[in-house]
Chains A and B, each alone.
Chain A
Amino acid sequence: MTQQLSGWGKTPASFPAKLIQPTSDQEILEVLSGPLRTAPRGLGRSYGDAAQIAAGLVLDLTRLKPTFELDEKTGLLTVSAGYSLGEILERTLPRGWFIPVTPGTRFVTVGGAVASDVHGKNHHRDGSFSMHLSNLELLTPSGAMTLTSSDPAFAATAGGMGLTGVVSKITVKLLAVETSLIRAVTVPTRSLAETFEAMTRDDEYTYAVAWIDATATGSRLGRGLASFGEHAKIDELFGRTIDQPLAYHPKAVATIPVSAPSQLLNPLTVRLFNSAWFQAGAARCGEKITSLDGFFYPLDAVGSWNRLYGRRGFLQYQVVVPYGSEELIETIIGRLAAGGHPSFLSVLKRFGEQSMGLLSFPKPGWTLALDIPAKRPGLGELLRDFDRRVAAAGGRVYLAKDGRLDPELLETMYPNLRKFEEICHNLDPEGIMATDLARRLRIGGRH
């Protein structure tokens, strides 16, 4: 019997008929010739059901690593899709090259980063991951192809949730850095209005994000810590970091055991944690030089932190709403807190321009991400109501985080859906590429 698969949130879960770990393009092309419905999977960090297929074949691509070529002059990196961003950083950062766009964890594969068209704290300036690719290699049921950003199949693949085929290799332009450290500035905010206000100063920095205490209510609703950052210059360093400015040794400080009690995160502990985090952050505000991991990947220090939520799992609700819909952000935070669904970790940020990706999530506006324990009474109804308001406002839900969106809202949120489906159909007329997410959302008529 194969193992149960789920996303990072542990729900929804399903059993594939088969799971294989290919190491070459050839193996993948053979699988894609059918007949089993096939879902690509990386490190399983999408939160919902994007990287699994019940009763189908799951391609675990974490061993697909034949290529790693860095041109040290230009910073162009050609890399197989099975490498994680962390593995790339370990090799390129000591040579002075950083990944142009990174999400809040380094434990994502290159393939997953393309399929979700991930964004980072620099989206307001630099856009999403796919905007930094010079080309990508895609394996589809109709064969292998090399795509550049002007190809329709490229636009379908960037953010296409793995439904166009398997990304096997990309070429990405890395960012030159002098050090592996970040000059970070933290500004505490006392209300949501102050948080919005602080974040509109994000154009002064490459990196910007606000952590929000989503358990604070009343006049404190939306209070938080706005944090900004730049790659530190060599002349900004002091102490022993000067000797090895590009040193990079990520380490985990703890791992949550399988047997973590399921009630660890309850409304009380979540409120206490958020309050303490806010007070601690407010006390340490100002400018400092910090490690790259501390700035970009604080949660990566705790292994398997998703186990904190127990067996019911959790979900991340991430939406983007256009400018002018700020009150919707307030409604979402306020009603979740009032409804007894406290978010353990909440972030707010501004997005810049949209990429060419047909199902790519980021678009200009505010994005809010909340981690919420799943399967609690009333949560489903509340989120469905938010979805309708978000869709009506011209916003959308991030599919890489989703496990529960109403299929009827998908096209309103993603107006290029039909075009995307048409391209998928041309690449894969028999519908071999399929995931539980695609079936749940009936993408391309899958069920």
Chain B
Amino acid sequence: MIDANGYPQNVLVIGGGSEIAAAIVALLAENGLERLALAGPREESMAAVRDQIGPVVSTKLFELDLAEPERAGPVIDDAAAWMGTLDCTIVAAAILGDQTRDEVSPERVAVSLTINTVGPAAALTAVANRVESQGFGEIIVLSSVAGEVVRRRNYLYGAGKLGLDGFALGLAERLRPRASLLVVRPGFVRSRMTAHLDPAPLATTPERVAKDTLAALFAGRTIAWSPGILRWVMMVFRHLPRGLSRRIPF
């Protein structure tokens, strides 16, 4: 169940190895989190999250590779059966890939969009159905500013997030007011996933994103930016003439 301050007792993370999701879960663990289901393709990264959260929370790992989107439904059923209710679901699964390598490969493009858009959309649908029938629930979808304005340097990842972002916003309307769905648009996050890249301006951390996410969730918002200033930066950016915006070097 969810308490009066918005804190869930049970949490499912799709993309259980995600550092941002782990930072969110760490905050929830200080506020009554009891059961944590981590679903993802790599056991070792999920085990690391489990160890980081510690024994206060009862954690179970579920093998799920969103490259096979049709597997999402059954895995979510298993996780929900273990937990009892799906109080809060964090959809964090994504691959960044290597733009220059992947952009010329039809196979890699298909895999990237499957993992970043099709798989999460399938998972979200299974979660939404369950949340609708159980009569309450919170859903957090990790999108990205990369999907807000798709750029040359990471258009494959950006297009994937753009698709997911739009899908999630539509789903939020379907679920309103039965459940709250929050789309989180972080800027450049310093994490394992981006360790090999030069940080973009306004770079943030998983911990900062986690804080902003919960603040927005409890305030009942549908979209969260992290850092918050990105909302205004991207609003301007989106309206620049393309001839100008394509020359901005990040």
Q: Does A311 interact with chain B (Cβ within 8 Å)?
A: yes
Contact (Cβ within 8 A) A380 B84:
no
Contact A380 B1 (CB under 8 A): no
Q: Mark B99-137, 1 if CB is under 8 A from A, else 0.
A: 000000000000000000000000000000000011110
Asked whether, in the complex, the Cβ of B5 is within 8 Å of the Cβ of A404, the reply is yes
A1-20 interface mask toward B, CB cutoff 8 Å, 1 = contact, 0 = none? 10010000101111111000
Does chain B have a CB within 8 A of A54? yes
Residues of B within 8 A of A9 (CB): 4
Contacts of A54 in B (CB 8 A): 1, 85, 134-136
A6 CB to closest chain B CB (Å) equals 9
A246 CA / B5 CA spacing, docked (Å): 44
User: Nearest Cβ in chain B — how far from A319, in angstroms?
Assistant: 15
In the complex, A383→B215 CA distance in Å? 18
When distances are taken between beta carbons in the complex, the residues of chain A under 8 Å from B178 are 1, 4, 15
The yes or no answer to A419 lying at the interface (CB within 8 A) is: no
Q: Which secondary structure dominates chain B's binding surface?
A: loop
- Chain A residues near B177 (CB-CB < 8 A): 4
- Measured between beta carbons, the chain A residues less than 8 angstroms from B84 are 447
- Nearest chain B CB to A37 CB, angstrom units: 11
Evaluate contact between A374 and B4: CB separation under 8 angstroms: yes
Contact (A403, B32) CB under 8 Å given A17-B135, A311-B220: no
Residues in A14-29 with C-beta less than 8 Å from chain B: 14-17
Query: With A and B bound together, what is the CA distance between A162 and B85 in angstroms?
Result: 22
CB of A377 within 8 A of chain B? yes
Q: How far is the CA of A1 from the CA of B178 in the complex (A)?
A: 10
B44 within 8 A of A: no
Tell me if B6 is interfacial: C-beta within 8 Å of chain A.
yes
Taken together as a complex, chains A and B put the C-alpha atoms of A54 and B8 apart, in Å, by: 14
Total A-B contacts with CB atoms under 8 angstroms apart: 79
Count residues of chain B with CB under 8 A from any CB of chain A: 24
Interface string of A393-432 (1 = CB under 8 A from B): 0000000001110110000000000000000000000000
Decide yes or no whether A117 CB sits under 8 A from chain B.
no
Report which residue of B5, B30, B136 has the largest number of chain A beta carbons within 10 angstroms of its beta carbon: B5
Q: Provide the bound-state CA to CA distance between A312 and B216, in Å.
A: 11
Q: Is B26 close to A, CB under 8 A? A: no
Give the CA-CA distance A13 to B178 in the complex, in Å.
9
Chain B minimum-CB-distance residue to A13? B136
| Contact partner, B135, options A16, A379, A381, A407, Cβ 8 Å | A16
Task: Indicate if A176 sits at the interface (CB-CB under 8 A).
Answer: no
Residue of B nearest to A10 (CB): B4
A233 interface residue, CB < 8 Å from B?
Answer: no
Contacts of A375 in B (CB 8 A): 4-6, 218-219
**A14 engages B6 (CB within 8 Å):** no
Whether, in the assembled complex, A137 has its beta carbon less than 8 Å from a beta carbon of chain B, the answer is no
B5 with A379: CB separation less than 8 A: yes
In whole angstroms, what is the CA distance A313 to B7 when docked? 14
What are the residues of chain A within 8 A of B6 when measuring CB–CB?
11, 374-375
* Cβ contact of A48, chosen from B4, B9, B32, B133, cutoff 8 A: B4
Contact A49 B32 (CB under 8 A): no
A63 contacts B by Cβ under 8 Å: no
Is A384 among interface residues, defined by CB-CB distance under 8 A? yes
| CB atoms of A12 and B135 under 8 A apart | no
Contact A14 B32 (CB under 8 A): no
Q: Are A381 and B218 within 8 A (Cβ)?
A: no
Please give, as numbers and ranges, the residues of chain B lying within 8 Å of A13 by CB-CB distance: 136
Interface string of B1-33 (1 = CB under 8 A from A): 111111101000000000000000000001110
**A404 contacts B4, C-beta separation under 8 Å:** yes
Considering only CB atoms, which chain B residue lies closest to A439 in the complex?
Answer: B1
A331 to chain B, nearest CB (A): 20
Cα(A11)–Cα(B31), bound, Å: 16
Q: Which residue of A lies closest to B84 (CB)?
A: A447
A292-B200 Cα distance, complex, nearest whole Å? 66
- B5 partner, pick from A374, A406, A440, beta carbons under 8 A: A374
Beta-carbon nearest neighbor of A14 in chain B: B136
Within the complex, the shortest CB–CB distance from A70 to chain B, in Å, comes to 39
Measured in the bound complex, the distance between the Cα atoms of B220 and A315 in whole Å is 17
**Docked complex Cα distance between A56 and B133 (Å):** 10
Q: Complex Cα distance A13/B5, Å?
A: 11
| Contact with A315, one of B1, B4, B32, B85 (Cβ below 8 angstroms) | B4
A436 interface residue, CB < 8 Å from B?
A: yes
- Please indicate the chain A residues that have their CB under 8 angstroms from the CB of B135 in the complex: 14-17, 54-56
A 36-69 binary contact with B (CB < 8 Å = 1; else 0)? 0000000000001100001110000000000000
Q: Which of B1, B34, B85, B133 contacts A49 (CB 8 A)?
A: B1
Q: Which residues of B lie under 8 Å from residue A381 when comparing CB positions?
A: 30-31
Task: Name the distance in Å between A214's Cβ and chain B's nearest Cβ.
Answer: 19
Which residues on A sit within 8 Å (CB–CB) of B219? Answer: 312, 375
8 Å CB interface, A278-298 against B: none
Once A54-B135, A54-B136, A377-B215 are accepted as A-B contacts, the answer to whether A12 and B220 lie under 8 Å apart by CB is: no
User: Given A55-B135, A312-B218 in contact, is the A440-B31 Cβ separation under 8 Å?
Assistant: no
A11 to B177, CA, bound (A): 14
Q: Cβ of B31: which chain A residues have Cβ within 8 Å of it?
A: 380-381, 384
Q: Is the CB of B1 within 8 A of A12?
A: yes
Q: How far is the CB of A7 from chain B (nearest CB, A)?
A: 9
Q: Provide the residues of chain A in CB contact with B3, threshold 8 Å.
A: 12, 380, 403-404, 440
Closest 5 CB pairs of A and B: A403-B4, A54-B135, A440-B1, A375-B218, A15-B135
Q: Show 8 A/B contacts (Cβ-Cβ < 8 Å), sorted by A.
A: A15-B135, A48-B4, A54-B136, A375-B219, A403-B4, A404-B4, A404-B7, A407-B34
Q: A376-B218, A380-B7 are in contact. List 15 more A-B contacts (CB 8 A).
A: A12-B3, A14-B135, A54-B85, A311-B220, A312-B218, A312-B219, A375-B4, A375-B6, A376-B5, A380-B3, A380-B31, A384-B31, A403-B4, A436-B1, A447-B84
